[in-house]
Amino acid sequence: MFATYVTLTIVAAFFSGSAAVTYLIGHDYPKAQAEMKRLPQSWVPRLGATLAAGSLGLLAGFAVPVVGTLAAAGLVLYFTGALIAHLRVGSRQLVGWAVFFVTMVATLVVNVAYHW
């Protein structure tokens, strides 16, 4: 169980951290996604900061388990919001979202099972 917990946490932190970097450096992909979902461009850095906080929170969870659990729950909520944003504009390009969402849900489940 410990190996699963560590592996999933690191993978989830990598996924959310690398997504945060693309949002924070001003890459074209997040800007295009925000435009497609009709979100203001001013939200892009805020969304990136939220992903970065989630990534750091997952890693901090190795030292303070409740922080990791809360970070995983926050990332599940983040990607639930992303699904709503996709569906709101009729987008059916959900493969990338599904990979992130399933990873975050699995991380939350394993985190809760391991620590509580």
| pLDDT by residue, tens only, the chain of 116 residues | 999 999 999 999 999 999 999 999 999 999 999 999 999 999 999 999 999 999 999 999 999 999 999 999 999 999 999 999 999 999 888 999 999 999 999 999 999 999 98
What per-residue confidence (pLDDT) applies to 116?
81
Q: Looking at this protein, which amino acid is placed at residue 73?
A: A
What per-residue confidence (pLDDT) applies to 81?
96
**Domain ranges in the chain?**
2-115
CB count in 10 Å sphere of residue 77: 13
What per-residue confidence (pLDDT) applies to 52?
98
* Burial (CB count within 10 angstroms: exposed 0-12, middle 13-18, buried 19+), residue 116: exposed
What per-residue confidence (pLDDT) applies to 74?
98
Q: Are 49 and 24 in contact (CB under 8 A)?
A: yes
Question: Dihedral through CA 14, CA 56, CA 93, CA 26, nearest 10?
Answer: -100
Long-range contacts of 5-9 (CB under 8 A, 24+ apart): 5/110, 5/111, 5/114, 6/62, 8/103, 8/106, 8/107, 8/110, 9/58, 9/59, 9/61, 9/62, 9/68, 9/107, 9/110, 9/111
